[in-house]
Structures are given as structure tokens and as C-alpha cells.
């Protein structure tokens, strides 16, 4: 029987990757390199906006996968892989119900 290999890790930001001051431990970048060397893809997952996440991971932002904005945006190496947006309603198309 072969040993199962981890291929992907997604971690939440607040309360997991970030400390009480909202900072990423600088040693994370060493860990990231170890994961990359083992062929493990890492994703930062958060309700935060994408541009907030890339600021946090500036040194490796062009290598990472980001699951941002409560899962409505997935970016990898600056390329949008998935986006789920709310349709824009004009004043003429939206009619609230009379409840």
C-alpha cells in the first residue's frame, strides 16, 4: 500500500496564520518554501479582499493561490481562476416585493 501524499493545504488567515496583532509570522516564508519543495500547493483562504491578501504575502504573491472574499474569488499567480459576483441591478430591473 502506498503512502498518501498531501498535495494541497488551504489555511484561514485570522486566528490561524495571523497573530493577535494581525501579523504573519516571518518564519512562514521558510515553511512555504519547504511546502513548495515537497510539491505541496498552499492557499491563503479568507473573507478578506484579494488585494489585502497579496499585501500580506508580498514576497511570494506571484507563486501563491488565494481564496479571497469569502470564496467568491480564486486567484493563482495573478490569474483569476474563479469569480462569483452579484449581478448589477439597474433602477428599472429591480422591483422589491410588496410584503
Residues with catalytic annotation? 12
CA–CA separation, 95 and 39 (whole Å): 51
For 36, residues 6+ apart whose C-beta sits below 8 A from its C-beta are: 42, 63
Nearest Cα neighbor of 24 from 48, 5, 41 is 48
Amino acid at each position: 500500500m502506498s503512502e498518501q501524499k498531501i498535495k494541497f493545504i488551504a489555511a484561514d488567515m485570522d486566528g490561524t496564520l495571523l497573530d493577535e496583532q494581525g501579523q504573519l509570522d516571518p518564519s512562514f516564508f521558510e515553511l512555504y518554501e519547504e511546502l513548495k519543495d515537497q510539491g505541496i500547493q498552499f492557499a491563503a483562504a479568507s473573507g478578506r479582499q484579494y488585494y489585502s491578501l497579496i499585501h500580506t504575502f508580498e514576497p511570494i504573491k506571484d507563486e501563491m493561490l488565494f481564496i479571497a472574499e469569502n470564496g467568491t474569488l480564486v486567484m493563482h499567480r495573478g490569474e483569476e481562476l474563479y469569480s462569483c459576483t452579484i449581478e448589477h441591478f439597474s433602477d428599472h430591473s429591480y422591483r422589491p416585493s410588496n410584503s
